[in-house]
Homo-oligomer: A and B are copies of this chain.
């Protein structure tokens, strides 16, 4: 199976429509139809059921979509990491990705400590949208990432735990419940509409709360009494006036980990991980 075929298949599966997939791929519809048919013949498996409205995946197709995406990410990763290695002849900067905003204190400590190491290489920090760190690690855009359980999918990575924190509710200082010493998650979410986080594709789920784009904006909306948010305890450090904090008794703990792809041999990654383990 060639990656070209896999890319075609994934495009058709994602669009559920051969014509649209062909457009997205910058080609005509007939060769795409033929390529899919050929792939099905070679695999000996029906991947799609053809309907008058487009196509839908069979169970074999669902398997190929899931596994094929991972395979394509692995191929892309190979390509990108090879390019990156060649660029700087072994001393290429290590790319670290983390969620924009959060964990800044921890990151600063890590980067400072690592920079002080004798054999430190340059670290390129890429801040990306929530949930994208794992993707970047999988497709080679990053070498190491700061991830958060249970929000990120850590499967397939090697990880070291950095911190474990409880979560707290941040709400307007004047709110009637703002002086309570603790609260359950269910209570917290019933007080005010919670902001909505973007999905992986950048769109927002439907709901009453404001769309979360940047944390300071949300904090402003909290001061105005329009919303509240559940965050790890460490977020307290960034708070200013007008906000109240209530610990949550039953919210899942947030584990911050440093993650890297298995078999990584980059000395930069190894150094960063070693440094992180000493923090």
Determine whether the beta carbon of B67 is less than 8 Å from that of A71: no
Determine whether the beta carbon of B75 is less than 8 Å from that of A1: yes
Q: What's the number of copies of this chain in the assembled complex?
A: 2
Kindly state whether residue A23 has any CB partner on chain B within 8 Å.
no
- Residues in B neighbouring A265, C-beta threshold 8 A: 62-63, 66
Q: Which A115-161 residues sit within 8 Å CB-CB of chain B?
A: 140, 153, 155-158
Kindly state whether residue A4 has any CB partner on chain B within 8 Å.
yes
Tell me the interface secondary structure of chain A in the complex: helix
Q: Which A34-51 residues sit within 8 Å CB-CB of chain B?
A: 43-47
Determine whether the beta carbon of A70 is less than 8 Å from that of B59: no
Chain A contact residues, CB within 8 Å of chain B = 1-4, 6, 43-47, 58-64, 66-68, 70-71, 74-75, 77-79, 81-83, 85-87, 89-90, 140, 153, 155-158, 262-263, 265
Q: Smallest distance from the beta carbon of A193 to chain B beta carbons, Å? A: 33
Kindly state the separation between the CA atoms of A118 and B11 in the bound complex, as whole angstroms.
Answer: 38
**Additional 20 contacts, C-beta under 8 A, given A1-B3, A63-B81, A156-B262:** A1-B75, A3-B3, A43-B86, A46-B86, A47-B82, A60-B86, A62-B265, A64-B81, A64-B82, A66-B263, A67-B77, A67-B82, A67-B263, A71-B71, A71-B75, A71-B77, A74-B75, A155-B158, A155-B262, A156-B157
Nearest residue (CB) in B for A47 is B82
The winner among A2, A46, A85 for most chain B CB atoms within 10 A is A85
Determine whether the beta carbon of B78 is less than 8 Å from that of A70: yes
- Residues in B neighbouring A46, C-beta threshold 8 A: 86
Q: Smallest distance from the beta carbon of A57 to chain B beta carbons, Å? A: 11
A-B contact pairs, 7 of them (CB 8 A): A1-B75, A1-B78, A46-B86, A59-B85, A63-B85, A66-B263, A74-B75
Q: Smallest distance from the beta carbon of A13 to chain B beta carbons, Å? A: 12
B58, B64, B156, B262: the one contacting A78 at CB < 8 Å is B64
Q: Smallest distance from the beta carbon of A200 to chain B beta carbons, Å? A: 14
Q: Smallest distance from the beta carbon of A86 to chain B beta carbons, Å? A: 3
4 nearest CB pairs, A to B: A45-B86, A155-B262, A67-B78, A60-B86
- Residues in B neighbouring A66, C-beta threshold 8 A: 263, 265
Kindly state the separation between the CA atoms of A156 and B77 in the bound complex, as whole angstroms.
Answer: 15
Nearest residue (CB) in B for A82 is B64
- Residues in B neighbouring A44, C-beta threshold 8 A: 83, 86
- Residues in B neighbouring A60, C-beta threshold 8 A: 82-83, 85-86
B6, B47, B58: the one contacting A75 at CB < 8 Å is B6
Nearest residue (CB) in B for A156 is B262
Q: Smallest distance from the beta carbon of A152 to chain B beta carbons, Å? A: 13
